[in-house]
Structure 1
Amino acid sequence: MATAELVLGLLHNGPAHGYDVKRGHDAWFPDSRPLAFGQVYTTLSRLERDGLVEVVDRGSEGGPERTVYALTPQGREHLAHWLAEPIQPALGAVDEMVRKVVATIRTGEDASAFLARQRSSHLRRIRELKAVESDSDSSSWLVRDYMALHLDADLRWLDNALDRITEQKETSR
């Protein structure tokens, strides 16, 4: 994940402290894993070291000290370049689900049962994503659509895998 570039994007509209960056990330991606505070502050430190953000204020406002960061011109340029570049498809990447199916087959376990359980899990997650009311002023619906469509593609793969496993069992009899 391009955490550094996301942090730059979150600072695009103006200076913010780490708590606001974390909260902004979690609002942009409400159905994803929340960004850890430690990751936010580590990323901000690296971005500052690299000259992409700068500290513009330190204050406590009656609580713990908060450091406010802003994009530098170099940070704006880096963000613009990142946003303009297409993502390379993850060729050859195999996710955990595929690894489990292969391991289930290779160890002689019941792959059909695993595929059925995985399919149910995917269907449940798609229902959860579709049950959330969309925020009219947010892009979170884009994230949910992306996740649901990827889960749908996984379902097609699961069905295809089950068909092939069933065919192989029938031909080996």
Structure 2
Amino acid sequence: MSVSRSLLGLLEGQPQYGYTLRQRYDRWFAGGHPVASAQVYSSLRRLADAGLTEQVGVEPGGGPDRRLYGITGAGVEELERWLAEPELPDLRAARQVLFAKIVVALLTSRQPQRILERQRQTHMARMRQLREVRTAGEPIEQLDADFEMFHLEADLRWIDAAGPRIDRIRASLQEHPC
């Protein structure tokens, strides 16, 4: 998730304060994992350094001054570029963990089927939670739940496909140890 590019999108409509941007980010993008204020302000600072945002006002307050941020013309161009660029699937993080666990289990004569079954149970429990959101959540929460649900379904298909291959892989490792 690109926090900085999402902030550009939130700024396009009108200038906003960092606090307001954090609240709006959490509402639309956080999915239950709020963004840290420090991350919002450091992103705004980097965007300003790159000429994509600018400070358009300051309001004195009881504490630090409240800064009003706006998007620049270059920021709008960058937002357009980011929106037009398709996202390449990045499966490395999920692949690295589960795939690595299965390979290590095979290499160390452990039971990869147990790992797959525990992962299946975890996915199924998460899918039950998501079904509730898809039924009773706000439309934006439902959209987010759909996205996660479809990815979990793909993981489950992989788990199903991996199961029958394990015995063949184990036999191959016995014939040709690493």
The reply to whether TM is greater than 0.5 is yes
Q: CA deviation at 1:57?
A: 2.0
Q: CA deviation at 1:91?
A: 7.4
Q: CA deviation at 1:106?
A: 2.0
- C-alpha distance in structure 1 between counterparts of 2:146 and 2:21, whole Å: 24
Partner of 2:124: 123
Q: How does 1:17-166 map to 2 (within 5 A)?
A: 17-31=17-31, 33-90=33-90, 94-132=95-133, 133-136=136-139, 139-166=140-167
- C-alpha distance in structure 1 between counterparts of 2:129 and 2:86, whole Å: 30
Q: CA deviation at 1:79?
A: 0.4
- TM-score of the superposed pair, with normalisation by structure 1: 0.85
Partner of 1:14: 14
Q: CA deviation at 1:84?
A: 1.2
Aligned AA (2:34): P
Q: Between Structure 1 and Structure 2, which shows a larger proportion of helix residues? A: 2
Q: Answer whether contact 1:112 1:162 (CA < 8 A) is retained.
A: yes
State the Cα RMSD in Å: 2.4
Q: CA deviation at 1:26?
A: 1.7
- C-alpha distance in structure 1 between counterparts of 2:157 and 2:111, whole Å: 19
Q: Which has the higher contact order (CA 8 A, sep 6+)?
A: 1
Aligned AA (2:149): A
- C-alpha distance in structure 2 between counterparts of 1:143 and 1:21, whole Å: 20
Q: Which moved more, 1:3-12 or 1:62-71?
A: 62-71
3-state SS of 1:98 partner: helix
3-state SS of 1:40 partner: helix
3-state SS of 2:67 partner: strand
Q: CA deviation at 1:155?
A: 0.6
Structure 2, unpaired ranges of 5+? none
After the TM superposition, which parts of structure 1 deviate over 4 Å for at least 4 consecutive aligned residues? 60-64, 166-172
Q: Answer whether contact 2:106 2:170 (CA < 8 A) is retained.
A: no
Q: Which moved more, 1:51-60 or 1:76-85?
A: 51-60
Structure 1, unpaired ranges of 5+? none
Task: Sort the Cα spacing of 1:63 and 1:162 in 2 relative to 1 into closer, same or farther, 3 A.
Answer: same
Percent of aligned pairs sharing the same letter: 38
- TM-score of the superposed pair, with normalisation by structure 2: 0.83
